[in-house]
Structure 1
Amino acid sequence: MTSEITGTPPTNPTPPPQGMPETNIVTVDDITASLKAGFSDFLARPVMSGFFGLFYAVFGILFVWCLVSLGKIWMIIPAIVGFPLVAPFAAAGLYEMSQRLQTGESFGWSEILSVMVQQRKREMGWMAFTTLFIFWVWVYQVRLWLAIILQDASFSDFDGFMHTVFFTQEGWIFLIVGTCAGALLSAALFSVTVVAMPMLLERDVDFVTAMLTSIRVVRDNPVVMLTWAAIISATILLSLVPAFLGLIFTLPILGHTTWHLYQRVVQPMENESIAAS
C-alpha cells in the first residue's frame, strides 16, 4: 500500500527569499487529507510504525518513574505537559517511512534505522538541540513559578502536590501563569519545527533555512497551523492518560500525517529547480 497526495495546493503569491524553499497556502482540507494519508501509512506498516510509538511511550513511562524515584514530584506535570514538544524529533523514522511509501520504494528495519543514524551527521542534531533546549527552559520556568508562587508548599508525595496545585488559590495562580508561559514557548517551538524536521530529512539544507521556512509557513497559514498544533497537542495529551500507551497508535499517525502536510505546504524541490532556471 502506498500513500498519495491528492490535489494541488495553490502556490504562494509572494516569492520567497533567494535560496529559500517555496511554500504554499493551505486549508483545513489539507489537514484532513494529510490525516487520511497518515492513517493509510500506519495501516501499511502497523508493526514498524507502532514500534516508534512504543519507544516514545516507554521513554515517557521511564522518565516519570525516574522523577518519582528521585523525589522530583513537582516535575511530573510540566514533564507530561511538555512531552508533545519533543514529538516531532521522535518521528524522524516515520517521516522516512512515509517518504518511501509515497514513492513505492520497498524498505525494512535496516533501511529506516540506518537513515535515522545518518541524521546525526547532518543538521538534525541542531534541531534536536533546539527542541531539547526549549523543553528544559519549559521545565525550569515551571520550577521558577513554583518557587515564587508556591514557595511554602510541601511536595512530599504526588497526592499532596496535586492537592496543592488544583485545590488552592496559589495553585490556580500557578496553573494560569504557567499555562501562559508554556503557551508562548510551545508556539515558538512549533513555529520553528512544524515542517523543519521532515525538510531536513528530505533535503540537503541547513537547520536555519529549515526553521525560517517553518516560520514562514506558520506566518502565511496561521489558522491552519494553529488548528494542526491544537490537534497534535490534544491527541498526544489524551494519549498519555492510559499510562502513555495511547502513543503507540497516535504518535505514528501524527508523524506520518506531518510528512504529508509538509509535502502540501512546501513545494517540491523539482519545482524550485525549474523556477530557478
Structure 2
Amino acid sequence: MAKTDGHIDKTIGNPLSWAAHVIDAGSHHLGKGAHETAGRDTAPIVLREIGTRDLRAALRAGYEDFKAFRSDVIFLCVVYPLAGLILIRFAMNETLLPLLVPLITGFALLGPVAALGLYEMSRRRKAGGHPSWAAAFKVAEAPSAIAILTLGLALLAIFVVWMLSAWIIYAVTLGPEPPVSIGAFVSDTLTTGPGWAMIVVGTGLGFVLAVSVLAIGVISFPLLLDRHVGVRRAVRASVRLSRENPRTIAIWGAIVVAGLGLGMATLMIGLIFVLPILGHATWHLYRRAVEPAEELSEDYSV
C-alpha cells in the first residue's frame, strides 16, 4: 500500500507486490514483537458474565459477517476442508487406519488457528472498515503476532499429543499389528473387548483434550488480535471466562462440535460454510465477553 495526499491507497496491486508487502510488514512486526511476548497492554482484562442470549447474538452477528464476506470467506475456508480430505485420504492406508477417527476428531483442535483470518475480518468490519479476503493476512502484522504464533504452536502440540496417544491406545488394545482390512478393523473395534476399551479410553482422553482446547482458545486468539496482552494473560482470561461461565461455554462447545460434525459429515464440504460462521461468531462472542480496551493500539489500527 502507498500513501497519497495523506490518505492510504487501498489498492492491492499485483499479487506479487501485495504478498511482498505482507511479508515485509509481517517480518517487521514479528521482529519487533520477538522480545515482547509478554505483551505491552497492561490494562486489566475485564470479563463480563455471558449467557445463551450472548451465544445467539454472536451467532447472528457471525452469520451477518458471513453474508457480508461470502465470496471472500468461502475462498479462504476452502483450504481447511481440502487439507482435511488430504489427511483423511492419507489415513485410509491400512497401516494408518487406526488414526482415521482420531484424525477427523482431532482436526477440530486446530479450528481456532484456522479461523484467525476470520477474526481479523470481523474485527475490521466492526471498526467500520470494508475488508476483503486480503485483510485476513493482516494477522501477520499484528503486534501480538509472535504471541499468536506461540499459542498456535501450543494447539498444534496438543494435536500431535492426541495423535500419538491414539496410536498408543490402539497398540495396547487391538494392536500393535496394523489392521488387515477396513472391515476387519471395524468388526474388531465394535465386537471385541479390546475394541471397546480403545473406544472408551480414546473418547475419554479426546474429551479432556477438547475441553482443554475450548477453555484455552475460546477468547484467547481474538483477545491477542485485539490487544497486545501476551500469551499468558490471554490464556488466563480465556480459562477464567470458561470457569466463571461453565454452562454457557459448554453450550458453545456443543454448538461448535455439532457444526463441525455436520460439516465433516458432508465430506468436509459443509465446513466451507460452517467454519466462517463459527469463526466470525467467535469474534463477536469475545466482544460480548470482554470489556473493550479504553484506547486502541497505535501501531495496529484499521
Instruction: State TM-score, norm by structure 1.
Output: 0.86
2:141 is the alignment partner of 1:118: yes
Of 171-180 and 213-222, deviating more is 171-180
Letter in 1 for 2:243: R
Of 21-30 and 66-75, deviating more is 66-75
Partner residue, 1:227: 251
Supply the distance in 2 between the matched residues of 1:159 and 1:56 (Cα, whole angstroms).
29
Supply the distance in 2 between the matched residues of 1:70 and 1:116 (Cα, whole angstroms).
39
Choose which of 84, 87, 100 in structure 2 pairs with 1:63.
Answer: 87
Trace 1:23-34 onto structure 2 (pairs within 5 A). Answer: 23-34=47-58
Letter in 2 for 1:140: L
Letter in 1 for 2:230: D
Equivalent residues of 2:76, 2:133 under 8 A apart: no
Partner residue, 1:269: 293
How far residue 196 of structure 1 moved from its aligned partner, in angstroms, is 0.4
- Cα deviation digits, residues 104-148 of structure 1 (max 9, x gap): 2022233332x1333584311111111011111111111121111
2:217 is the alignment partner of 1:199: no
Partner residue, 1:168: 192
Supply the distance in 1 between the matched residues of 2:176 and 2:117 (Cα, whole angstroms).
45
How far residue 157 of structure 1 moved from its aligned partner, in angstroms, is 3.1
Partner residue, 2:260: 236
> What's the RMSD between the two structures over aligned residues?
2.1
Number of matched pairs:
255
Supply the distance in 1 between the matched residues of 2:141 and 2:93 (Cα, whole angstroms).
35
2:34 is the alignment partner of 1:21: no
Partner residue, 1:4: none
Call closer, same or farther: CA 1:20–1:79 in 2, change over 3 Å. farther
Indicate the structure (1 or 2) with the bigger Cα radius of gyration. 2
Call closer, same or farther: CA 1:34–1:250 in 2, change over 3 Å. same
How far residue 225 of structure 1 moved from its aligned partner, in angstroms, is 0.3
Equivalent residues of 2:120, 2:225 under 8 A apart: yes
Partner residue, 2:165: 141
Trace 1:198-217 onto structure 2 (pairs within 5 A). Answer: 198-217=222-241
- Cα deviation digits, residues 161-211 of structure 1 (max 9, x gap): 222222323212211111111111111111111100111111112111110
Partner residue, 1:46: 70
Partner residue, 1:95: 119
Supply the distance in 1 between the matched residues of 2:44 and 2:95 (Cα, whole angstroms).
47
Question: 3-state DSSP class of the match of 1:205?
Answer: coil
Letter in 2 for 1:26: I
Unaligned runs of 5+ in 1: 1-17, 273-277
Letter in 2 for 1:116: V
Choose which of 281, 285, 297 in structure 2 pairs with 1:257.
Answer: 281
Question: 3-state DSSP class of the match of 1:269?
Answer: coil
How far residue 154 of structure 1 moved from its aligned partner, in angstroms, is 4.3
Supply the distance in 2 between the matched residues of 1:51 and 1:208 (Cα, whole angstroms).
33
Instruction: State TM-score, norm by structure 2.
Output: 0.79
Call closer, same or farther: CA 1:20–1:156 in 2, change over 3 Å. farther
Equivalent residues of 2:95, 2:178 under 8 A apart: no
Q: % of aligned pairs identical?
A: 31
Supply the distance in 2 between the matched residues of 1:265 and 1:131 (Cα, whole angstroms).
22
Letter in 2 for 1:227: I
Equivalent residues of 1:60, 1:244 under 8 A apart: yes
Question: 3-state DSSP class of the match of 1:137?
Answer: helix
Letter in 1 for 2:141: Q
Partner residue, 1:12: none
Equivalent residues of 1:22, 1:267 under 8 A apart: yes
Unaligned runs of 5+ in 2: 1-41, 297-302
Partner residue, 1:84: 108
Letter in 2 for 1:263: R
